[in-house]
Structure 1
Amino acid sequence: MCHVLIIEDEPMVAMLIEDTLSDAGALSVAIAATQEDAIDAARHRRPDFITSDVSLLEGHGPAAVQAIFEVCGEIPVLFITATPDDCRPCAPPGMVLAKPFTGQAVAHAFRTMTAAAR
């Protein structure tokens, strides 16, 4: 039912987000570490929810999200970043959560945003 795309270049952070969202009800997850990989993953399978870091080793999370929106339409997105001031564009339907974060905050945002999107 709910497929999540995690755009995160730090493997341990990506796995923590994956575990948290799986426990919160996500049925499938794809992880992309670069802007290009994120866009390709969304083309392969449209996500119902996206989490994205802002600064990636290759590319920019908000740019990946904008490109995904152009292909897939708007999707609820939670930006999880150590640099919230650099999150541009991160306007609705996005929310911004600063690192360090708690699993509880991620799960709450996921449940709230996916319920609103239904």
Structure 2
Amino acid sequence: MCHVLVIEDDFLIADHIIQLIESAGGTSFDQAATQDEAIRAARAMPPSIIMSDVNLLIGTGPAAVRAIIAEHGPTPVIFVTGSPDAYRLCNTSAIILQKPINERVLVDTFRDLAPT
């Protein structure tokens, strides 16, 4: 099972990412729009992989990812952001993809990183 946590404050973008990842093999999903929601979702069900935006309406994706990894251990991370310069390295395995989303690159990157 590959449980994916999608941290994205734009519902339409989050839904699009979930649809792409589901077609690429993701089996279950949690969606969080804020840093705190993401941390709570990970506590309820630790993710196999995290897909996160950098800037959120409340908090940041990197801060949520740092907290989740500190609590649950190493987890593959893909940042999907329109602000790649705002990203601060928080996990050596993190990959940064730029918005607008290149569907093929996102799916291929997910397949490369997702646990099997």
Report the Cα distance in structure 2 between the residues aligned to 1:30 and 1:96, rounded to whole angstroms: 20
Q: Matched residue pairs, number?
A: 116
| Partner residue, 1:68 | 68
| Partner residue, 2:6 | 6
Greater Cα shift, 97-106 or 83-92: 83-92
User: Deviation string for 1:45-72 (max 9, x for gaps)?
Assistant: 0100100000000001000000000111
| Partner residue, 1:29 | 29
| Partner residue, 1:97 | 97
Report the Cα distance in structure 2 between the residues aligned to 1:92 and 1:19, rounded to whole angstroms: 26
| Partner residue, 2:88 | 88
Report the Cα distance in structure 2 between the residues aligned to 1:92 and 1:79, rounded to whole angstroms: 12
Runs of 4+ residues deviating >2 angstroms: none
The unaligned stretches of length 5 or more in structure 1 are none
After superposition, the CA RMSD in angstroms is 1.0
Tell me how far 1:89 sits from its aligned partner. 2.3
Tell me how far 1:91 sits from its aligned partner. 4.1
Percent sequence identity is 44
Report the Cα distance in structure 2 between the residues aligned to 1:89 and 1:58, rounded to whole angstroms: 19
Tell me how far 1:107 sits from its aligned partner. 0.6
Using the size of structure 2 for normalisation, the TM-score is: 0.96
Tell me how far 1:24 sits from its aligned partner. 0.2
Report the Cα distance in structure 2 between the residues aligned to 1:88 and 1:95, rounded to whole angstroms: 12
| Partner residue, 2:58 | 58
Tell me how far 1:82 sits from its aligned partner. 0.4
Report the Cα distance in structure 1 between the residues aligned to 2:89 and 2:56, rounded to whole angstroms: 15
Amino acid aligned to 1:44:
A
Amino acid aligned to 2:50:
I
The unaligned stretches of length 5 or more in structure 2 are none
User: Aligned with 2:36: secondary structure?
Assistant: helix
Contact residue 4 and residue 50 of structure 2 kept, 8 A: yes
